[in-house]
A and B are shown apart, each in its own frame.
Chain A
Amino acid sequence: MKASSSPGFINHLLVYTLVMICFSGSIGLGTVWMRHQISLTANTTKQLDARLSAVDRYLAEATAAAESERDANVLLRRNTEWNLGLVLPNQAQIVHVTEDPVMRLASKRNRALFGDRAATVAFPLALRR
């Protein structure tokens, strides 16, 4: 095949055109695929974002509902309804410790061990003759 001949030129032109079409097509397909992936990623991100927002909203609703249940009036009502019998301690039940609590606990413990009587201690002595 002579390169300078007209049919040869046409052949080359056709081959190059086909190569170019294939090349352009593959670039086009690649671009389409890429844009599709971008679209998928964007939609996934959007859905995740929406799901996050939904979770936040449900969380806010649950928090508000939980807070309502923690209201003092509701708790008092529950206490009555469920017969829990919970009451605040009154002043008479509270003993204020003004001295050193360690010494107080130690003396309490000692009283429990020895009572109020004086401790008697026996020392066995060995006498050597």
Chain B
Amino acid sequence: MKKPRDLKPDTLSLHAGQRPDKEHGARATPIYQTSSFVFKDTETAAGIFNVERTGHVYSRITNPTNAVLEERISALEGAVGSIATSSGQAALHLAIATIVDSGQHIVASNCLYGGSHNLLEYTLPRFGIETAFVDFRDLDAVKDNIKSNTRLIFGETLGNPGLDVMDIKQISNLAHENQIPLLVDSTFTTPHLMKPIEHGADLIFHSATKFLSGHGVVIGGLLVDSGNFIWDQNNNFPQLSKPYRGFHDMIFTEEFGPAAFINRARKEGARDFGACMSPHTAFLILQGIETLGLRMDRHIQTTREIVSFLNQHDAVVSVSYPELESHPDYKLAQKILPNGCGAVFTFELKGGKKAGQTFIENLNLFSHLANVGDSKSLVIHPSSTTHHRMDASALEKAGISEGTVRLSVGLEDVEDLKEDLEIGLESAIKSI
């Protein structure tokens, strides 16, 4: 028997979730820029509200353009469903708020994006949710920090900014032994470089602002449900396994099986927290995803050349990129990220903070801003910007010093980028 094959990722990037518009034949995904949708009749309206008919009600909950994006990322990740949110932060918050209650606990990597760290360290405690930040390379430490009220383990496929490679298989094994789901931020890798679900992640979120879009013109997030976690294996997730008063005593595991989480996140979180994505934003992210494979391959190719260039430069103390043997996660990266370790990395300049500032100020093509994953190359000084709220100890644990510079390598001609960097590096040396 011929083994059937599902469509390949590059095909899904272009097509998943969308067929040509039946009314007008539009090939591109139309932008349904509308707040609400007219019901055919009162019975149909009641049916959609009662989750017996499919359809759209109000764009805070669902929207046809957003639905294409949600299906597309689900297809690329191998997931049962997704929700588009107003930002990556909103996706992270939605994931947490759906399953973690006041008085409960999260175990998170100590190498997180500054925004995620802010939410977990400073904001969620206001709502009674505490987080233990742990070095995910130390599995014993992860295990030791799991408590009876731990409801989520969370890390990034590639830690920010030191590019710690998360051993998703090991961490997920540990999580599942303790009947806890694993949430993974896959922003830096995208499904083109790694599919976390295949390694054991239960939930994924993306800042779709970054590589998924590539153009840097929108803010958006995506929360993705693998459908693998068994939420009713114990009583730890009553949000999903017990009657929900907010929706006619619906028991999500009973009515949606593998899609329990994503349905609760939409029927409660999208409805009540309201951090929805604009349909126009969804359309722009879809334009980005169409070329995801092409762009990521080019990002990786150029990054490898830039890493090699910097690694040999006299002005540079060290480069942190998991494809270098000097990186602590080199072997793991070879195993789980064979197609590349992303296009964001850090390096250490000789001369500390002053050299770093001079370097950045003398760049022309690299834009100094707080973002990554743009098609245009970007640069930032983490200790004074994205991670400025972290104390010295936390910075050290995250692998950040005053001389650390983070690059996000874009799609420009690599020779032009090297020339730009050379000018910056020469200026940095002179400033010491």
Partners in one complex: no
